[in-house]
Amino acid sequence: MTKVLVSDPIDQAGIDILSQVAQVDQRTGLSPEELKSIIGDYDALMIRSGTQVTADLIEAAERLRIIGRAGVGVDNVDVPMATQRGVLVVNSPEGNTIAAAEHALTLLLSLSRHVPQAHASTMAGGWDRKKYVGNELYKKVLGVVGLGKIGSHVAKVAKAMGMDVMAYDPFISADRAQQMQVRLSTLEGLFEQADYITLHLPRTPDTENLVNAELLATMKPTARIVNCARGGIVDEPALAEALKSGVIGGAALDVYAKEPLAADSPLRSVQERLILTPHLGASTEEAQENVATDVAEQIRDVLLGLPARSAVNIPGLSAEIMERLKPHLQLAETLGLLVSQLSGGQVQELEVRLQGEFAEHPSQPLVVAALKGLLSHALGDRINYVNAALEAKGRGIHVLEVKDEASQDFAAGSLQLTIRGDQGGHSVTGAVFADSDLRITSIDEFPVNVSPSKHMLFTRHRDMPGIIGHLGSLLGEHNVNIASMQVGRRIVRGDAVMVLSIDDPIPSSLLASLHEIEGIKEAHPVTL
């Protein structure tokens, strides 16, 4: 029976979805040793931020096919090891977008109006209105560092509140920034000019302690900074010192380098101008249900053999691209599987030629799909979209990508895979016709027009009378039924290829007889 382990608390909506396809075991609060001792029994693991999915844990998870993180960040998952083992890692990149953006805005407003301090004072019996005179956000400059989904939403709401928004994001084009009515800036320029700064970056080696003492010193003495993104982006001791010495006007943090925040953290010694919250960015009822539902649906789909929407370790395969390129990916995988069975030997190089409109699509997903098909015949279920590129590299297969936008053999372009190896080379070409109809359009440069089927037979032979009849008779004698047949040739009485769709696989004894037919140079049974 398919089994899913849920090792962190998640919303019941996610449990209900998983229960449709698997036995779901909820076991939260497990120690690393306890988790490692049982993980080998499970096909899927669903987590939040509490469970640390280490390399050792993944090594012990012999059945594991997918890890689902109910949230955005996957820094508690050893993604490279999961990729190496062919384990899919998925998250919910949009499930808590609104919650995180609203919390960042909440902290901006709270900083401006001293809400937490005024509340504590009033609850203690005070009524000090003069002490808590605040500032308006209207017409102030907001610097947004990172214009992803959360940062973009913060910028949109801030614009609606009348703020002047500038941003730093090296991956946002000037046209996109203009559409958002946001001024692009360097990081240094943003810190120098902004009245408020909000961070929306992942934690990477490049962003760790990005906001350090030097950068803080460039801010206006009245400026305030908010971090609801990832802990470790801000140098916490440097921030504490900047607040105590009046270098900046205030700060609000929801995330920390180490969580929970240590009792002796220098941040706890700051008496004024600082707001701390315990990682509440995604802590709304709506967000918790959204991320649980999103990730549970992806785990369910993968267990049913369907693609995931938000895999973090499938290069270039976002949900949008997956949907748009679905038939193209299927064609690439089918052609890869086909050409691998035509080769019959060790593959040293795969050339992926994207022609016509195919060249306008993102190429990396198509290359990954072609590699998955190429290696599936030899590796079976071990190969998937996650580890296909790694497996190919480990086997010394050189991948060559060629774009030929001028080629317009078909209205929607075509995809050609060519392999070269110790047994020579083969090439296959295919296209996607109307209504996602997949067609094989050439074999080794011989023109054909065939729909892929489960069982097929490909031959290379001399174009001479009697060969087709002889081959058909042999198949009939072995009770192999022909569904369709097509011959492709370039010149009369030269070489030709024959493609047969058949209802049954070719018995090994029959294959030997086919090779004995005069004029047949190659015969390759194929299962797709």
Q: Which residues are catalytic?
A: 230, 259, 279
Return the biggest CA–CA distance within the chain. Answer: 105
Within 8 A by CB and 6+ apart from 232, the residues are: 203, 207, 208, 209, 256, 257
Cα-to-chain-centroid distance, residue 491: 47
Q: Is 416 helix (H, G, I), strand (E, B) or coil?
A: strand
Beta carbons within 10 angstroms of residue 354's beta carbon: 24
Contact 412, 357 (CB under 8 A): yes
Kindly give, in sequence order, each residue whose CB lies less than 8 Å from that of residue 354, ignoring residues fewer than 6 positions away: 361, 363, 366, 401, 402, 403, 404, 413, 415
Q: CA-CA distance, 474 to 460, in Å (whole number)?
A: 17
The answer to whether 426 and 444 are in contact (CB under 8 A) is yes
Are 507 and 484 a contacting pair, CB within 8 Å?
A: no
Q: Cα(226)–Cα(245) distance, rounded to whole angstroms?
A: 18
User: Peptide bond before 452: cis, by omega within 30 degrees of 0?
Assistant: no
Following DSSP, what letter does each residue of 370-384 receive, concatenated?
HHHHHHHHHHGGG--
Distance CA 118, CA 128 (A): 8
* Strand residue runs (E) in 53-135: 66-69, 88-90
Q: Judge whether 363 and 315 are in contact, CB under 8 Å.
A: no
State the DSSP H helix or E strand holding residue 425, giving kind and residue range, or none if neither: strand 424-433
Residue 489: CB atoms within 10 A of its CB come to: 17
